[in-house]
Amino acid sequence: MVTFMPISSHRLSDEALELVAARFRVLSEPTRLKLLNLLREHGELNVTEIVAETGYGQANVSKHLMQLLEAGMVARRRDGTSVRYRIADESIFALCELVCAGIEAQLQARQAALAASANVPAA
């Protein structure tokens, strides 16, 4: 079993680093991020509903859902003749919120720097 501790207090093993990298690879695809956000917003959806919401092709949606399922980020259940997907691991949203907060802070700093440079009189 691989145990995880905060990076600041423990050196991760190569095995643990590979697992972390694999998780980031799954999250590195914008289509998968969109599907995760859609499932977070709606709770449970089937492929047809996801296709209608996103405009993506059925094969594309199914491929990305399988990758999310294999990574343990979504779960599925049979509902009659269809399969419904839902978020299985809410921790992915904590990570996304941290990343988004960092991006927002960077953008605000850039805007502040641009505004400051626009107010500097020419020499």
Q: Are residues 85 and 99 in the same domain?
A: no
Which amino acid appears at position 82 of this protein?
S
Q: Are residues 56 and 68 in the same domain?
A: yes
pTM of the shown model: 0.76
Q: Are residues 16 and 52 in the same domain?
A: yes
Domain count, the chain: 2
**pLDDT single digits (tens) 14-65:** 999 999 899 999 999 999 999 999 999 999 999 999 999 999 999 999 999 9
| Cβ within 8 Å of residue 58, ≥6 positions away | 47, 48, 51
**pLDDT single digits (tens) 54-64:** 999 999 999 99
Q: Are residues 45 and 12 in the same domain?
A: yes
Q: What is the CATH number of the domain that holds 10?
A: 1.10.10.10
Q: Are residues 40 and 56 in the same domain?
A: yes
Structural domain range at position 107: 90-123
- The total of other beta-carbon atoms located within 10 Å of residue 84's CB is 17
**pLDDT single digits (tens) 58-105:** 999 999 999 999 999 999 999 999 999 999 998 888 887 888 888 888
Q: Are residues 80 and 103 in the same domain?
A: no
Q: Are residues 100 and 65 in the same domain?
A: no
What pLDDT score does 83 carry? 97
Q: Are residues 34 and 81 in the same domain?
A: yes
| Structural tokens at position 44 | 């449970």
Q: Are residues 37 and 76 in the same domain?
A: yes
Q: Quote the CA–CA distance of 105 and 108 in Å, as a whole number.
A: 5
Q: Quote the CA–CA distance of 74 and 37 in Å, as a whole number.
A: 11
Triad 113, 117, 119: Cα angle to 5°:
120
SS3 28: coil
> If 0-12 CB within 10 Å is exposed, 13-18 middle and 19+ buried, where does residue 92 land?
buried
Q: Are residues 57 and 113 in the same domain?
A: no
Q: Are residues 57 and 32 in the same domain?
A: yes
Q: Are residues 81 and 111 in the same domain?
A: no
